[in-house]
Amino acid sequence: MTIIDLLERNAREFCDDTALVEINPDQPETRKQTWHEFELVEPTHKVAHYRREITWGVFNEKSNRLANMLKAKGIGKGNKVAILLMNCIDWLPIYFGILKTGALAVPLNFRYSSDEIDYCLSLAEADVLIFGTEFIGRVESIAHKISRNRMLIYIGTGCPAFADDFNDLTSECSGIFPECNLTEDDDAAIYFSSGTTGFPKAILHKHRSLIHSCRVEQAHHSQTKDDCFLCIPPLYHTGAKMHWFGSLITGSKAVILKGTQSKNILTAASEEKCTIVWLLVPWAQDILDALDRGELKLQDFNLKQWRLMHIGAQPVPQSLIKRWLEYFPDQQYDTNYGLSESIGPGAVHLGVENVHKVGAIGVAGYGWEIKIVSPDGQEVKQGEVGELILKGPGVMVCYYNDEKATADTIKDGWLYTGDMATMDEDGFIYLVDRKKDVIITGGENLYPVQIENFIAACPKVKDVAVIGLPDQRLGEIAAAIIEVKPDMTCTEEEINEFCLALPRYKRPRKVIFADIPRNPTGKIEKPKLRKIYGADGLVDSQNKS
């Protein structure tokens, strides 16, 4: 079985059931039939917004039309088709249309600059680029280069002269599945790493990885046909898509919400009767802060059906989940850990039954094996810090066109994650930090995540990042960049006093108040912070004791 078999099954068995809903609260009216008025109960108020939906039957037909068009253009097994789109209702049908030709889908980060788009298309050896309105300028600036032996397809209104129009190409194509002999051993997709250490690496996965991620998601979150998943993060990333795979495997409804405003998240969950919502730490924090300030009131929303909130993509402060469960005591909570190299979330899994272990990322996920090892590859003792390594059906094939990076990352079938971790007496894994982010100060190893989790509990702190800065005496010192909650003030003295509960060597020796940059998947962009604050010269730590 491959993942496209699940879509075909849904189209047969649930043809007229809703598959996807797109909501954009900020989009101006374009078509009257796409607008919808929400009417809440207890109390009643209305929110007008852009809304459209498609059934599983329409989803499948859209995919088939694209697949037939691409096949007519000679695209099939071995070819690669890149997707450069913002989240929208067409994103997933396009993804599956590519897979149905036997070609590889190559999702691109919507934040990529022109140079990064060019780089990734070349690295993946993409034959086609499908792009949307938001990217006309970026694509046009490199069109003279990337259009050589490559087809550019534009989806939207007002097709630019350098591209072919998606609707013109697909409007007359058959909506019937073009047979393609695929197995789990066929290549399926190329994803790109976050690129936080330079240009991103291309990560190759087979269909086996995709179908395994479907099974993992359902095993962990117990989706049924009656569930409704609220999807907010970008679909180009494995995290959002692989969590949505729980909807695919059950034939259930999913809602694609544009934007991350707290009110819009709660409104969408209320009106669309969402049962599962995946949040990133900043969004959960924003919701809690808005509730604390009284800007949002839970009684204005119908959230009784919301059974599960889960978070991934970055370490989760224990204090955040404690606060969340105070507002939402009847909800289940879960954490999932994974990488694009391990087909996204679920390689390590906390489990809703283990909320008492909040702070841990969990135990081995469904179908996965895990170890914590020393630099020589030997398992460390319980409680010791080592590198987390993974093994299972979702491990990538390789870094495409990068043999050295592949050999450094996959050894004897084990994926070396670069994440430092420990295991407690019950077998639960706790992330300590990224190997490359460890701060060595006066010969002591400092793990920024541990310090960040502590500072995050300060009532005035909205977000925090800890990085190492160069120091003449100690080599490096820990610097805390702190984003203060709205409408609050905070001083360095207050942070230093709060940190007195930390061991002396773990206390930040420099405090900087500034916004915390995060990428679209919620990860702190520490290389950007190091570039901003590490280039100011050596920090004199001797004035702090």
DSSP string, 227-249: -EEEE-S-TTSHHHHHHHHHHHH
Mean pLDDT (the chain) is 88
Q: 201, 405 in Cβ contact below 8 A? A: yes
Q: What is the per-residue pLDDT across 28-61, written as a single tens digit (0 to 9) for each? A: 544 433 323 333 333 333 445 689 999 999 999 9
CA distance 140 to 162: 7
Nearest to 6 by CA among 250, 276, 367, 346: 250
Q: What is the DSSP string of 70-102?
A: HHHTT--TT-EEEEE--S-TTHHHHHHHHHHTT
More confident site: 446 or 187: 187
The mean pLDDT of 170-196, rounded to a whole number, is 88
CA distance 399 to 66: 28
Question: How much is the pLDDT for 533?
Answer: 84
* Residues constituting the chain: 545
Statement: residue 535 has pLDDT above 60: no
CA distance 218 to 157: 38
Statement: residue 72 has pLDDT above 70: yes
Statement: residue 139 has pLDDT above 90: yes
Nearest to 417 by CA among 400, 432, 403, 402: 432
Question: How much is the pLDDT for 216?
Answer: 95
Question: How much is the pLDDT for 25?
Answer: 87
Question: How much is the pLDDT for 23?
Answer: 95
Question: How much is the pLDDT for 446?
Answer: 80
> 75, exposed or middle or buried, with CB in 10 Å at 0-12, 13-18, 19+?
buried
Distances (CA, A) of 266 to 130, 226, 327, 475: 32, 19, 13, 47
CA distance 512 to 497: 15
Statement: residue 296 has pLDDT above 90: yes
Q: Strand, helix or coil at 528?
A: helix
What single-letter DSSP state applies at residue 173?
S
Q: What is the per-residue pLDDT across 505-531, written as a single tens digit (0 to 9) for each? A: 789 999 999 998 887 667 788 878 888
Q: Which domains does the chain have, with CATH numbers?
A: 441-539 (3.30.300.30)
> What is the bridge-based pairing of β-strands 151-155 and 164-165?
parallel
CA distance 327 to 299: 11
Statement: residue 211 has pLDDT above 60: yes
**Which secondary structure element, helix H or strand E, spans residue 218, and what is its range?**
helix 207-221
The mean pLDDT of 424-431, rounded to a whole number, is 92
Q: 348, 220 in Cβ contact below 8 A? A: no
Q: Residue type at 513?
A: F
Backbone φ/ψ region at 149: left (φ over 0), alpha (ψ -120 to 50), beta: left
CA distance 270 to 411: 47
Cite the DSSP H helix spans in 236-341: 238-250, 262-271, 281-293, 318-327
Statement: residue 80 has pLDDT above 60: yes
The mean pLDDT of 315-339, rounded to a whole number, is 89
CA distance 281 to 192: 22
Q: What is the per-residue pLDDT across 458-512, written as a single tens digit (0 to 9) for each? A: 999 999 999 888 876 666 788 999 999 988 999 999 999 999 988 787 899 999 9
Distances (CA, A) of 255 to 96, 275, 392: 18, 11, 30
Question: How much is the pLDDT for 36?
Answer: 32
Q: What tokens does 352 get?
A: 């809703």
**Quick count: other Cβ atoms within 10 Å of Cβ 417?**
23
Question: How much is the pLDDT for 449?
Answer: 80
Q: 331, 308 in Cβ contact below 8 A? A: yes
Banded model confidence at residue 195, pLDDT cuts 50, 70, 90: low
> What percent of the chain has a predicted confidence (pLDDT) above 70?
90
Question: How much is the pLDDT for 424?
Answer: 94
> 52, exposed or middle or buried, with CB in 10 Å at 0-12, 13-18, 19+?
middle
CA distance 480 to 507: 9
Nearest to 96 by CA among 63, 142, 141: 63
What single-letter DSSP state applies at residue 160?
-
Q: What is the per-residue pLDDT across 345-402, written as a single tens digit (0 to 9) for each? A: 889 999 999 988 888 899 999 999 999 999 999 999 999 989 999 999 999 999 999 9
User: Minimum mean pLDDT among 5-14, 18-27, 121-130, 161-170: which range?
Assistant: 18-27
The mean pLDDT of 186-215, rounded to a whole number, is 87
What global pTM score does this model have? 0.82
